[in-house]
Amino acid sequence: MGSYKYCLCFTRKFRWSEAAPPRDVAVAFAAYADGGTHMGSEQLRRFLAEAQGESGATIADAERILDQVRQLRHRHHLLGRSLLALDDFHHFLFSDELNPPIQCQVHQDMAAPLSHYYIYTGHNSYLTGNQLSSDCSDVPIIKALQMGVRVIELDMWPNSAKDNVDVVHGRTLTSPVELIKCLRSIRDYAFCASPYPLVITLEDHLTPDLQAKVAEMATQTFGDMLYYPETDSLKEFPSPDSLKNKIIISTKPPQEYLKTKNSKENDSQKEKDASDEETWGKDVEVQKSELEADDKNDQGQDEEDSDDDDDQSFQQISALEYKRLITIHAGKPKGGLRDAVMVDPDKVRRLSLSEQQFAKAAASHGTDVVRFTQQNLLRIYPKGTRFTSSNYKPLVGWMHGAQMVAFNMQGYGGSLWLMHGFFRANGGCGYIKKPDFLLKAGPDGRMFDPKQCLPVKTTLKVKAYMGDGWRMDFKQTHFDAYSPPDFYTKVGIAGVPADTVMKKTRTIEDDWTPVWDDEFSFPLTVPELALLRIEVCEYDISEKDDFGGQTCLPVSELRSGIRAVPLYDRKGTKFKSVRLLMRFEFV
């Protein structure tokens, strides 16, 4: 009983108390406040313009902030007008709604061809978990669309009766979902987070009659939302602006599929050409052998049918119905990797490479890859051994101009955090304009080379003042059963190899509202591709340090000055209250 009383007293000893504004905040307030005690709209406007770098700030902007702070703080008018005291000023700076770290609106040119943009891309978008045995569903598709993902991938296979189309990860033990269910959910959620075009990449394992059925389903389900290309072979892709609120289809044209089905190559080569991602499920022998038997039966039947003129005519009509939906023609490399990334002056296309193929191409033909992506789309997908739905490092793809760095959106971890952070840029619309050096050759006619050593363009200075909100979003005993947590923050850069680094603050013991006041400098050679990485951890002397929140922010979008930085959980969901107060400065 005595021991129980001791523990109870011990936990009561560590009460939370609100931290005072950091010294820099108090100094800024004193510099701009009227008489050093209160700040009105004109003083706040000057602070925004001069200290926060918001040169376009107006009196109306300042008055709107004053009103919002007054409502949030339940303040009343003082002397007939809204005024901020030091605590109110601190509250404003620490609010990620009123004072966010990056721009929140679409602000880039959206009238260039699609090949000029990085596009938020999902891989096997229908899977709820691992790549071998999880359920296929429209639920992860909906979640991805709500996050702003702009490329959804569907693997289409005949159902067990061969009379309809399922979405399933072929040659694995994943359970199927009907294609029509996925299409209807895409229709309903396509533009809930962004008005810019949604691309559906189709992995096609269908016979011509089922391809025709897909064409009918897509036409009826999407209606006017579905974009029909004006020509069979585009010389340049349309722009995101011109495709607003449109759904566009990308897959291998059906005539290539038919040629593959009727070729004299052996069965294994047929299987490879018919699929973008042929390596999946090789360890799942039972289902694979059954499906291979089905494939051979289908192929044999196709060869018999090809002797019948009527059936051949039907196949051609079906192929045309399906083909007219395809805006972005897709394919896999044929021949060597250098040949695969050769530019065709007469048409543009999408090329898909596995992460291993891409790594080889980047190592041996990096500048050729960059040249290819100036006009064409390059999609990179995870290697077949990522059974747990893990992801690869995305920066190497972005450095080479790859537009569709395809990720498992259920594969939570550091790589996905980078993906989330990267696509917070440009208002989170899912399209980010590539830097100019990836869109055209340099003055000497040479392509950008990610391996080249470059001079420092700018230095980002980051000061981590303090953090708050864990006491609201976590249980009192989450980090430690008997005392408040011991927080520290890791701050670093993810970018080209020369810019990549990670540092950390000191650890503040026994405090729910840690104050670090630690500053870091990051020299950047390619700031256009840099991400600021932030992760809060709770030090644990006996076990692995606990996770306390994370975020990644595009450096090119950072707003200078003192800013509130909201943090996210491991899955990328924003915490309700957890945030940091930081200062960003470019020198």
Q: Are 563 and 24 in contact (CB under 8 A)?
A: no
What pLDDT was estimated at residue 144?
A: 98
List, for residues 248-258, the tens digit of each pLDDT value: 999 998 865 55
Rounded to whole angstroms, how far apart are CA atoms 202 and 261? 18
DSSP state of 305: H
List, for residues 95-151, the tens digit of each pLDDT value: 999 999 999 999 999 999 999 999 999 999 999 999 999 999 999 999 999 999 999
| pLDDT at 267 > cutoff 80 | no
Binned at pLDDT 50, 70 and 90, residue 298 comes out as very low
- Return the exposure string of 204-218: e unless at least 16 CB atoms fall within 10 Å of the residue's CB, then b: bbbbbebbbbbbebb
Average pLDDT, the chain: 88
Closest CA to 169 of 289, 287, 253: 287
DSSP state of 446: P
Q: Pick the range with the lowest mean pLDDT from 37-51, 78-92, 188-202, 413-427.
A: 78-92
Rounded to whole angstroms, how far apart are CA atoms 399 and 447? 12
State the number of CA atoms in the 13 A half-sphere of 146 facing the CB.
Answer: 9
What pLDDT was estimated at residue 255?
A: 63
DSSP character string of 108-168: S---S-GGGEEE-BBSSTTBSS-TTTSBB-SHHHHHHHHHT--EEEEEEEE-TTSSSEEE-
Which range among 266-270, 332-336, 446-450, 548-552 has the greatest average pLDDT? 548-552
Which whole number is the average pLDDT over 39-53?
96
- Residues recognised as catalytic: 123, 169
| pLDDT at 6 > cutoff 90 | no
Q: Pick the range with the lowest mean pLDDT from 283-292, 408-417, 534-543.
A: 283-292
Closest CA to 221 of 254, 195, 246, 185: 185
Which whole number is the average pLDDT over 522-536?
98
Domain extents in the chain = 23-93, 114-438, 458-586
DSSP character string of 61-104: HHHHHHHHHHHHHT---BTTB--B-HHHHHHHHT-TTTS-SB--
For the domain made up of 23-93, give the CATH fold.
Recoverin; domain 1 (1.10.238)
Neighbours of 403 (CB within 10 A): 26
Rounded to whole angstroms, how far apart are CA atoms 29 and 38? 8
DSSP state of 336: -
Rounded to whole angstroms, how far apart are CA atoms 60 and 39? 15
**Residue 270 vs residue 584, higher pLDDT:** 584
What pLDDT was estimated at residue 7?
A: 44
Binned at pLDDT 50, 70 and 90, residue 420 comes out as very high
* CATH code of the region 114-438: 3.20.20.190
List, for residues 212-249, the tens digit of each pLDDT value: 999 999 999 999 999 999 888 899 999 999 999 999 99
Q: Are 169 and 136 in contact (CB under 8 A)?
A: yes
Q: Looking at the chain, how many residues does it have?
A: 587
What pLDDT was estimated at residue 322?
A: 92
| pLDDT at 189 > cutoff 70 | yes
Tokens of 18: 């609100």
Q: Which CATH number fits domain 458-586: 2.60.40.10, 2.60.40.150, 1.10.10.10, 3.40.50.10490?
A: 2.60.40.150
